[in-house]
A = this chain, B = another copy of it.
Amino acid sequence: MEPTATVLDLNQLRRSCSTCALHELCLPAGIGVDDLNRLDATVKDKRMLDRGAVLYRDGDKFDALYVVRSGSLKTFVQNEAGDMQILAFHLPGEIIGFDALASNQHVSQAEALERSSICELPYVQLQQVTSDVPALHRQLMRVISREVVEEHRHLMMMGRQQAQEQLATFLRSLSDRYQRLQRDGNALNLSMSRYDIANYLGLVVETVSRLFSRMEEMGVLEVNRKSVRILRPDLLASLCRTDAASKQKSSG
């Protein structure tokens, strides 16, 4: 994919699931050492994606799953009219491409938000390994299930929360994921644009912009373009639900 510029990267970051820093987050979590080597063998050499580069697009034939190794991506669907809905932002350790299992072709698009590196897991070979290694099979199911659960959260956020609650929830979840990657959970470096955030939440960009400003005024955040510092995690948490109360849209 990439010319000479990245040869160095490819050689330096020699692929190996067992020594990968994302070991515990990625597919091999909970797999024995010998089985890990088998998995290792199926992983193709990593690919580099520049910002804006498309990993797969709607309609593409399914032939691999992908692990985000560094950087970040967004996945989204588009309807006939061309309306886009962002489904998720993907950080290192996350596996994408499961949407294509159903029909053997992708029904969404994955696009890099910044320069990112990707592990490719060709599916025919992965199937070989999973049929020999039941633990890996279970693990794979667990990973898809995690995606299902994550989408449940997304639906809850869109359906039942107000704009400010949504953004607060979004930032908190991002913060959590940063921490799981051993990064500072209170110093977010947003790789996605305001447009992307707005789209993900079902809002428009002006609303998101106003909310960032408001949260800054409230002393919850310190916002500087893509860099967002969470000054008061406690306040941010409290913003995730307005007044606990009894709006009709709510409870049951």
Chain A: interface secondary structure? helix
C-alpha gap A127/B248 in the complex (Å): 42
Residue interface mask A125-163, B partner, CB < 8 A = 1? 001001100100110111111111101111110111000
C-alpha gap A159/B100 in the complex (Å): 22
Known: A156-B79, A160-B79, A252-B84. A144 touches B148 (CB 8 A): yes
Which of A101-109, A112-120, A225-233 forms contacts with chain B?
Answer: A101-109
Contacts of A103 in B (CB 8 A): 149
The oligomer's copy count stands at: 2
Contacts of A108 in B (CB 8 A): 152
Known: A100-B145, A108-B152. A85 touches B130 (CB 8 A): no
By CB atoms of chain B within 10 A, which of A79, A107, A153 has the most? Answer: A79
Residues B248 and A204 in contact, CB atoms below 8 Å apart: yes
Known: A102-B148, A155-B155, A159-B201. 14 other contacts (CB 8 A): A77-B153, A81-B251, A84-B160, A87-B155, A107-B149, A127-B138, A130-B137, A131-B137, A137-B137, A140-B141, A141-B141, A155-B158, A199-B252, A205-B248
List 5 A-B residue pairs with CB atoms under 8 Å apart, sorted by A's residue number. Answer: A78-B252, A82-B252, A85-B152, A199-B252, A204-B249
